[in-house]
Amino acid sequence: MNTKIQTPFLLSLIATVALTACGGGGGDSSTASKSTTPAPTSTPASTPSPTPVVDGESLPDLAHPQTGSTADAGNGLEGIWSTSGTSHTYATIDPTNNLQYVDGIATIATTEFFGSIVPTSSTWVLNTGVKYSGGFFYTASSGSGAFAAKQTFSGSYVANGSTVNLAWNYDAANALAVTQSSVTGTWTETNTSLTVDNAGAVSGTMSNCPVSGTLVLTTPLSNKNLYTFTVTVSGTASSCSAPSGTTFNGQAAIVFLPISGSSLYKRTIFYAAKTADNSRYAIGQVAKP
């Protein structure tokens, strides 16, 4: 029988932010000179609306990955896996086969998973795993499946007496070549603001909890889009549910959100981390303001 433990959730659930194009044009401030001859009357031509200025970029191309990116230099299993639509998933697998994922419906996260797998050339079996759902966490077992390198990942495992099925696609963000400075700056979502310096030091708040730590490339000096995320609650706040000294460790990656009304995308950082004793987890998706 699996042990069921009440889990106090720390962070706001995964935020798939609805991004909209914005911008506008300024009017002509000059004044037209008056004519002494009356001009014939006519129906004024309609003024076209200014073209919105969209702050975004095109998706990286898996068919032509950027040099050094995970899709270019990875082993075919490591990287970011996902599904899209109203029901969606972000999963990450690091080079040592640690796997974690978050399922969501619209803006609500429904399942969080942290574990590790043992792969062969095209199959995998679950080594360890913990699934969070409905305020509890459960030990995962009997996991196995198959993958096609840089294409698909599928399989299932058992948690709390139920079989959980997985079916993911290799994400376009794997074709993005990054550096440590790719995550430099301030990234925010509701009740969360994280500032990352050029060396990967993190400071700020997560769900109103003051935190400090690091966000550094999982493979140092590489251009692979996967980061190791470690933060510790470094103080107290009345609206923070985690005690000072609580440490979260997990993975993070740059992923892309579509911009409404445009063919362009916005960069975000998706992260998922948990405490060593599994009592708390932290997930979020932050973007630059």
Residue 41 domain-assigned (yes or no)? no
**Tokens, residue 40:** 């014939």
| Amino acid 51: pLDDT | 53
| Amino acid 236: pLDDT | 80
| Amino acid 50: pLDDT | 56
pTM over cut 0.75 = yes
| Amino acid 35: pLDDT | 31
- Domain housing 115: 5-15+56-287
| Amino acid 238: pLDDT | 83
Residue 120 domain-assigned (yes or no)? yes
Closest to 77 in 3D by CA, of 144, 130, 151, 127? 151
Residue 30 domain-assigned (yes or no)? no
Closest to 201 in 3D by CA, of 224, 181, 221, 223? 181
Number of domains in the chain: 1
Between the CA of residue 126 and those of 59, 119, 139, 279, what are the distances in Å? Answer: 32, 9, 11, 21
Which positions of the chain have pLDDT values less than 70?
1-54
Residue 49 domain-assigned (yes or no)? no
Residue 50 domain-assigned (yes or no)? no
Residue 20 domain-assigned (yes or no)? no
Residue 127 domain-assigned (yes or no)? yes
Residue 37 domain-assigned (yes or no)? no
